[in-house]
Amino acid sequence: MFIRAALAGLAALVAQVLPASAQGQLTMLCAPQAEWCEAIAAAFQRDTGIRVLMTRKSTGEILAQLRAESANPRTDIWFGGSAETHFSAAEENLLQAYTSPNMAALHPWARKVHEQSRERCVGVSTGAIGFAFNTEIGARKNLPAPRRWADLVDPRYRGEIQMPNPNSSGTAYTIIAGLVQIMGEDPAFTYLAKLHANINAYTRSGAAPLQAVARGETFLAPTFNMETQTQVAAGFPVAMTYPEEGTSYEVACMSIIRGSRNVANARRFYDWYLTPAAMDVMLRANQFHVPAHPGATADPRIPNMSEIKLIDYDIATFGTSAVRRRLIERWEREIGARPR
């Protein structure tokens, strides 16, 4: 009995003095801006002693990697990226169900995607699509700020707009799915074909067009408002308007990967993030998404979603693998393959 007690005491002492890596590790794929991904990885590692191996990728790239690794998963947790993409992964049995004890405190929209996905993901933040533009380029070239989706096909914007590619970007898919719901599918693709004439590049990353706007490499990009606010806070000459016809939005999610090798640590991260303190890490990284926990810090730089005309975005339908695949293939066939 004495020996057993002594060994237990020694084990507790060793746990206190061993380096962080001795507490185990967590492999994370992360879709938001790199600064936010790095900040939450560092904060979780500091708070728990669990070593985090984080890779930042676009949402579509993450889904492609999870599909490729499905027989031998290398990832434990997926943070960020639109709910539609998580829903597709859930439908393909790439995610495992988990309900955190911290779930009940979240906003209804965060809990709703958890229910719709059959507990395979939870909402962590939200934000809306708008038109980010460079005010200095606008003044120099006498380009007006767009107010409607219809404005973007105006010939005066020829070569002045950049968009991401939906094959790799969740942002692009949210834009296209929103246009389909606003206009109808065939009219939306007719619109995208007209818009193509004004596009100077389709980027792999959803963040790249906004970064190009901030650097003065392009005038305009349809993109998320929360990421635009980061550029504004950094002092870049960027502003945003919202389409009068209405706009789509995302609920960014978090999921545990089916077959995770470190499932206990994945659940610990999941629980850790669904707290106000963890969500406040976003602000320290100059990221301004609307957080899923009402107790997170209310920062005036976070966009007020109630002031934006949001469509009744059907995440469940547009998150199915069949719909997602069909729309992306149609975009590639009718838009992406067009010469510029």
Give pLDDT tens digits for 318-329: 999 999 999 999
| Share of residues in the chain with pLDDT > 90 (%) | 90
pLDDT of residue 51: 98
β-sheet bridge partners, residue 203: 164
Give per-residue pLDDT as tens, 121-144.
Answer: 999 999 999 999 999 999 999 999
**113 and 172, same structural domain?**
no
Q: Are 191 and 260 part of one and the same domain?
A: no
pLDDT at 311 over 50: yes
pLDDT digits (tens, 9 = 90+) for 7-47: 334 333 333 333 334 479 999 999 999 999 999 999 999 99
Q: Is the pLDDT of residue 4 over 60?
A: no
Domain that holds residue 221: 127-249+321-336
Residue 313 lies in a domain: no
Percent of the chain with pLDDT over 70: 94
Whether residue 292 contacts residue 280, with contact meaning beta carbons closer than 8 Å, is answered with no
Q: Is residue 312 part of a domain?
A: no
73's CB contacts (< 8 A; 6+ apart) are 66, 257, 258, 259, 260, 261
Q: Note whether 326 and 229 are same-domain residues.
A: yes
Looking at the fold, whether 287 and 330 belong to one and the same domain comes out as no
258 and 115 in a single domain? The answer is yes
How large is the average pLDDT for residues 49-78?
Answer: 96
- Pair (139, 237) in one structural domain: yes
Average pLDDT, integer, range 83-95: 96
What pLDDT, on a 0 to 100 scale, did the predictor assign at position 339? 86
Residues 236 and 325 in one domain: yes
How confident is the model at residue 293, as a pLDDT? 98
Q: What is the mean pLDDT of the chain?
A: 92
What is the pLDDT at residue 21? 41
CA 306 to chain centroid: 20
pLDDT of 340: 73
277: which 2 tokens? 């303190």
The SS3 of residue 136 is helix
In-domain check, residue 26:
yes
**Tell me, what's the pLDDT at 22?**
47
Instruction: With respect to residue 37, please indicate whether it lies within any of the assigned structural domains.
Output: yes
Q: Which tens digits make up the pLDDT trace of 220-248?
A: 999 999 999 999 999 999 999 999 999 99
Same domain, 231 and 279: no
pLDDT band at 303 (very low <50, low <70, confident <90, very high): very high
The full DSSP string for 237-269 is SEEEE--TT-B-EEEEEEEEETT-TTHHHHHHH
**200 and 329 assigned to the same domain:** yes
Give the CATH number for residue 286: 3.40.190.10
Q: Indicate the number of domains in the chain.
A: 2
Mean pLDDT of 201-214: 95
Question: In terms of domains, do 113 and 138 share one?
Answer: no
For the whole prediction, is pTM greater than 0.85?
Answer: yes
Give per-residue pLDDT as tens, 265-291.
999 999 999 999 999 999 999 999 999
- In this structure, are residues 69 and 177 in contact, taking their beta carbons and an 8 Å threshold? no
27 and 41 inside one domain:
yes
For the residues 150-169, what does the mean pLDDT come to? 97
